[in-house]
Amino acid sequence: MKKRKQCVSKEETRIISSITSTKASGENYGQIPMDIILKILSRVPAKSIARFRCVSKDWGVTLCRPYFTDLFLKMSSLSPCLLFTFHAEGKWSFFSLPESMLISDQKSSRVVDSLSHVPIDYPIRVCVPVGGLLCTKDEWNLSGKKDARMMICNPSTGGFKLLPKVKTRRRRVLTYLGYDPVEIVYKVLCMTSCERPYSPKTEQHQVLTLGTGKMNWRMIECSVSHYPQSHHNETCIDGVLYYLAVGSGCWKTSMIVCFDIRSEKLKFIVDEAFKDIKSPSTLINYKGKLGIIHHNAPGLMDGKSSGFALWVIDDMEKHIWCKNIVMFPSLWWNLVAGTRVRIIGTTGNGEILFSPCVVSIPFYIFCYNMETNAIRRVEIKGFGPVMGQKIYTFLNHMENLKLVP
């Protein structure tokens, strides 16, 4: 097979020229110490690192070492991106846009960067990405294939790996991906439930740790019978995965489930403050705190939606919540109109972002500032000639150089 030619940009050439006098082994021929070189390289895009690994054998070895990949992930977390992904024409496509481009100015349009494409011949749903990785969700239900398995993927590199089959005879499998930034460990949490006859409660709870050689599902204990609410309502903050659920015995009981990635323990928050919260609700990371956004309109939001309520927890142990009622300005209808959107989270400057559920031309992201009650939209370009595909948009995505564990 003919080797694909690596195209190096002018900026990449400048970086290479400035540091090629220093060997990757750490022996200085120039004036730049090796640790400084690695810090410089940790700030360039993942695509550039892939090309830099081809510069020499020394570069290839050094830029694949755990020290550098961990440093790169840490620096990437300081410059998060929006991640767009959809399935079309037999492939799972990923695109990104630096979050700073939405915050830094008021430009009316932006062009996404194409990250990678993964071949897959059936539609997929995905968990909310964490630590730069993504996991598919509910594959058996979606594909109708008995041999379908969940997949872990790195959008930055296009690397992917099939996960072992879940130990269950149940056909309904609910999946979440969690990440602990301290120990740098990824875990997949899955729950099974009876599909026929339908049962509104989860049964077996299993955990799989990524990057441990031979991966195996392990059963864990769950003391409270519950059933997770609608999809994409989870968020992972400081090594704890949160998702909304309802008690299986009484549909009026809403709760937040907290899964500690390190201890693999499940805790449950049932509070009067949000007892009436039902679907549709969305969990978000609001300035480093857990937030719940709830709107009264059934299903997704559109231009007719009047606003939403935002709960932010100030003290997790004491269950101290702060509630805000938000009413959209009249401009909301003019900009959003009939577009069906979902809340995807908050940016670093506190703007709440809304994204359409399908690819369209034009395709807009809507940014709402609660402090100024201002709404704006930004056209997103660069997806290619696709229309009508279900699209998933995520905030706070970070680039990751690691091979899929």
Across all residues in the chain, what is the average pLDDT? Answer: 82
Average pLDDT over residues 227-255: 79
- For the domain spanning 75-397, the CATH number is 2.120.10.80
pLDDT at 405: 63
CA-based angle 67:126:183, to the nearest 5?
Answer: 30
Chain segment 17-41, per-residue pLDDT in tens:
555 554 544 454 456 787 888 888 8
Does the pLDDT at position 107 exceed 80? Answer: no
Chain segment 247-297, per-residue pLDDT in tens:
766 556 778 899 999 999 999 888 766 666 655 688 899 888 998 888 766
Model confidence at 1, pLDDT cuts 50, 70, 90, reads very low
Average pLDDT over residues 87-111: 87
Identify any residues that bridge with 259 across adjacent strands, giving them in sequence order. Answer: 241, 266
* 93 within 8 A of 361, measured Cβ to Cβ: no
Average pLDDT over residues 65-83: 89
Spatial separation of the C-alpha atoms in residues 151 and 130, rounded to whole Å: 14
Chain segment 168-195, per-residue pLDDT in tens:
766 678 889 999 998 889 999 988 876 6
Q: What is the 3-state secondary structure (H, E, C) of 146-174?
A: CCCCCEEEECCCCEEEECCCCCCCCCEEE
Give me the residue spans of the domains in the chain: 14-64, 75-397
Helix axes 10-19, 34-41, angle to 10 degrees: 170
